[in-house]
């Protein structure tokens, strides 16, 4: 693709009609005899400069106008969520000016309040599942604790090597327990613990955000 200014200076006389795929800034102010400017399909042009004395009788800026329209649409799209935040702020703090940080804190605080009973409820269900599973495991109840502890390490670990190590141990523990417990029962227990751990992690992250602000 050619540079717009270089192309015009090399290829066009004083009377210019642009009909090539160009990009960048286009300065036609040194062409005083221009009477017709046709931008054509040059949608990559970013700006156009003409001399005040140009006796322009016809000009086509369709593609440039289209770009301006797209730019305005982007601006409008960006403005919409801002307006929505301001409306939300007016509802939450009707007698206060818009403050994004304050609004963010309030939303986080409400989310923590929403999650807290859910964490307690799911933790209670997990405790019941653990009790039932350990009862069925009989003499291998300690293995259930080891299985859950290893799974917790997998969920909370960010290192692949550590996760692989704990996964290998989990397979061994599941092999031991499979004689007393169905595979579906073990998976249900592990899924519930993963759910609780993720909820706890989420609520802890929210609380840390509140503390930092």
Domain ranges of the chain: 1-98, 100-212
pLDDT digits (tens, 9 = 90+) for 88-127: 777 677 777 877 788 788 888 888 999 999 999 999 999 9
Q: Give the Cα separation of 126 and 43 in Å (integer).
A: 60
- pLDDT score of 181: 92
Q: pLDDT-based confidence at 2, cuts 50/70/90?
A: low
Of 37-51, 132-146, 173-187, which range is least confident?
37-51
Could you tell me the pTM of the whole model? 0.56
What average pLDDT does the chain have? 77
Q: Which of 188, 189, 150 is nearest to 168 (CA)?
A: 150
């Amino acid at each position: 693709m050619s540079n717009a200014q270089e192309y015009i200076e090399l290829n066009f006389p004083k009377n210019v009609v642009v009909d090539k795929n160009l990009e960048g800034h286009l300065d036609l102010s040194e062409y005083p005899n221009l009477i017709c400017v046709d931008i054509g399909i040059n949608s990559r042009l970013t700006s156009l400069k003409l001399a005040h004395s140009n006796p322009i009788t016809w000009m086509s800026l369709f593609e440039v106008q289209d770009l301006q329209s797209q730019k305005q649409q982007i601006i409008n799209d960006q403005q919409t969520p801002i307006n929505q935040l301001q409306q939300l702020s007016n509802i939450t703090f009707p007698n206060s000016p818009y403050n994004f940080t304050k609004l963010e804190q309030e939303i986080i605080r409400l989310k923590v309040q929403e999650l807290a009973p859910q964490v307690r409820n799911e933790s209670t269900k997990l405790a019941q599942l653990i009790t039932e599973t350990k009862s069925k495991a009989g003499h291998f109840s300690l293995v259930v604790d080891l299985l859950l502890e290893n799974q917790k390490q997998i969920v909370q670990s960010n290192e692949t090597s550590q996760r692989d190590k704990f996964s290998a141990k989990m397979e061994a523990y599941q092999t031991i327990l499979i004689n007393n417990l169905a595979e579906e029962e073990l998976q249900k227990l592990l899924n519930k613990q993963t759910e609780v751990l993720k909820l706890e992690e989420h609520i802890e992250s929210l609380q840390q955000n509140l503390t930092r602000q």
